[in-house]
Structure 1
Amino acid sequence: MAIAAAAPKQQQRAWGQALRNPWVSFAVRRVTRLVVSLWVLVTATFLMIHLVPGDPVRAALGITAPPELVAARREALGLNQPLLVQYWRYLKGVLTGDLGTSMTSGLQVAQQVGDRLGSTVLLAVLAFLVVVVVTVPLGTFMAALTRGGRRRGSELAFTSGSVVLAAIPEFLLAVGLVALFSVLLRWFPVAGRSDASSYVLPVLALAIGPAAVMARIMRVEMLAVLDNDFVRTARAKRLPPWKVYLRHALPNALTASLTLGGLLLTSMVAGTVLVENVFAWPGLGAMIVQSIIEKDYPTVQGVVLVYGAAVLVVNLIVDVLLALLDPRSTIRER
């Protein structure tokens, strides 16, 4: 009996010791935050269809639709049931991958989202890779070039150019790229997804603005790092410049830049909505605009849910990467 009574206490002590581990505590906090955020997101998307003024089924089918058809569609979608029953069904469906049925096509929303999700993810990831590959070396180079107040003209040109590029909306930038490179020069396709050349303009339309912002931040962070004592010590040891920048300065400058990079990636995912419609890209952005026009609220719900979940997952990945780059951040939050 004494041994049986002591077992739960030992388990409690083991759990307490595990939670005192910074990495375990960090993982528990992040997973809990993710689960709560996902629940709020699911609840918000569920309420979306119930906050629309009027009858969403009537709005989707049109004012000329027979009442019998409207009643049948409401019954098929379960909109005649009590609100709590609908919420439970929707929550259970989301957990099992069932996002409902489209009001206009009658197809499963999950199937439609799955068919287009890859195109949007690939577009956003390629744009993000372009941003990282361009801005990290560019920001580092400009920091080394203008360190200590040198080359004021280069600094002014870099800052002014990045501000102008960052201020151009993705939609306007996409239209300008099409007009120049597709209509005037005929270097790339106007629209659609076909070979590798069809990716160039949509990726550039998504990447140019965030790249301009991140290059400025990367330069500022690198300038701050280069003034630290450990960099001066590395220089005093007469280490090669590439070691000073790559091994000592760059990892420290990437911490703040990575935080911004995660925010930029989420903004690029949202920016695909506009860019995809300019280039007739077969992704979720074009799908959600068409669903809004057709008042297909279940499809809008599903796409918004996927976009929101993508943003939350990206934030979680950024937090993990930041913790790996700077393990002290897992302790400072305690």
Structure 2
Amino acid sequence: MTSTTATQAILIRSARSGSPWLSFLVRRGGLFVLSVWVLVTAAFLMIHLVPGDPVRTALGMNAPADVVEARRAALGLDQPLIVQYFRYIGNLFTGDMGISMLSNQPVSDIIATRLPATLQLAALAVAVVILAAVPIGVTMAVATRGGRRRGLELAFAVVTVVLAAIPEFLLAVGLVYVFAVTLGWFPVAGSTGALSLVLPVTALAVGPLAVFARLIRVEVLSVLSQDYIRTARAKRLLPRRIYTRHALPNAMTSTLTLTGLLLAGMVTGTVLAENVFAWPGLGTMIVQSILNKDFPVVQAIVLVYGVGVLLVNLIIDIALALLDPRSTIREA
């Protein structure tokens, strides 16, 4: 029996036996595929919903008619809409996202050039949020449980509310003015090394970090009041083990649901940060393309951002199932 046949046999046996994990993955996978299809369809229709002729708009009103028609033919926009749609779907499977109206460069090459810088920024911001918010939230929950240290609790609440309320754009501009222009500690803009990452990552991470820390504190406080935590204390388990092995995993189950929304927002939040710091990623590219009316590039970047948000939600769903498989899989 070949490996492929064996795998198929395992899947068939799992399906017949009603494996909850297989059903969960099939449902979540199917929902993800359906969401991607809706996103792709919306991205395709974007260029056709623009008032007027997008090619004429991109090339300018004074462009010769034969040049406009030639560009329309090169982009396939002279074909019936249904033909364009299926061609667009087929091209996506081969990595072809179209041709830039202005530079005549393949859009996939533009994405490949710009995407690593955006992923670097987003990944570092997510890492900062998780590595900082979790210990801060747990520490504050332990320090203020049972109504202790009211002053510390009030200070934490005020600081996190203020930080979460500051718009990313305003925070980014403030960071540039204070730490780049005034103090000269970091580069003002561009990607010139490790120091150039500090300010944009900070601008992206501060708001979600504050919200995430507040969520973790509230959930850990709720968990610490449960009977099984009292039982663990009665058994004289080490506090570190109680907090890391019992309290934190149970607190993260409900926190992850809202965390998915925060992290998905960070994916698109890179647009503002990149434009403030002139970061060479997709965020600056999409703004330039909108201003230049380069619709195929805008279309592709919107698709990339949308798939990124959907992937974050899928990962959060799987993480929830791993942390609490019985309730998550049963409810799915």
Whether the TM-score (by the shorter chain) exceeds 0.5 is yes
Measured in 2, the distance between the counterparts of 1:179 and 1:88 equals 49
Corresponding residue of 2:4: none
| TM-score in terms of structure 2 length | 0.95
CA pair 61-153 structure 1, distance change in 2 beyond 3 A: same
Deviations 1:71-97 (A, max 9, x none): 111111111110000001111111111
Unaligned stretches of 5+ residues in structure 2: 1-8
SS of 1:165 mapped into structure 2: helix
Corresponding residue of 1:59: 57
Deviations 1:42-70 (A, max 9, x none): 00000000100001001111112111111
Shift of 1:262: 2.2
Shift of 1:38: 0.6
1:200-239 matches, cutoff 5 A = 200-239=198-237
Measured in 2, the distance between the counterparts of 1:13 and 1:288 equals 45
Measured in 1, the distance between the counterparts of 2:181 and 2:173 equals 10
Shift of 1:194: 1.7
Deviations 1:286-325 (A, max 9, x none): 0000000000000000000000011111111111111111
Shift of 1:15: 6.2
Q: CA RMSD in A?
A: 1.5
Shift of 1:283: 0.3
Residue in structure 2 matching 1:46, options 44, 49, 54:
44
Shift of 1:13: 7.8
Shift of 1:14: 3.7
1:1-334 matches, cutoff 5 A = 14=13, 16-18=15-17, 20-333=18-331
Deviations 1:167-196 (A, max 9, x none): 111111000000000001100000011211
| TM-score in terms of structure 1 length | 0.94
Shift of 1:11: 11
Measured in 1, the distance between the counterparts of 2:12 and 2:178 equals 67
SS of 1:128 mapped into structure 2: helix
CA pair 241-38 structure 1, distance change in 2 beyond 3 A: same
Would you say the 8 A contact 1:124–1:265 is kept in 2? no
| 4+ residue runs over 4 A deviation | 10-13
Unaligned stretches of 5+ residues in structure 1: 1-9
Measured in 1, the distance between the counterparts of 2:136 and 2:250 equals 16
The AA in structure 2 aligned to 1:236 is A
Give identity over the alignment, percent.
Answer: 64
Aligned residues, how many?
A: 324
The AA in structure 2 aligned to 1:36 is L
The AA in structure 1 aligned to 2:301 is V
The AA in structure 2 aligned to 1:58 is R
SS of 1:302 mapped into structure 2: helix
Measured in 2, the distance between the counterparts of 1:103 and 1:331 equals 46
The AA in structure 1 aligned to 2:100 is S
Measured in 1, the distance between the counterparts of 2:240 and 2:313 equals 31
Measured in 2, the distance between the counterparts of 1:196 and 1:180 equals 19
Measured in 1, the distance between the counterparts of 2:262 and 2:89 equals 30
Deviations 1:236-271 (A, max 9, x none): 111121111111111111112222222221111100
The AA in structure 2 aligned to 1:308 is G
Would you say the 8 A contact 1:167–1:209 is kept in 2? yes
Shift of 1:108: 0.4
Would you say the 8 A contact 2:320–2:328 is kept in 1? no
Measured in 2, the distance between the counterparts of 1:11 and 1:235 equals 44
Would you say the 8 A contact 2:59–2:68 is kept in 1? yes
Measured in 1, the distance between the counterparts of 2:108 and 2:229 equals 52
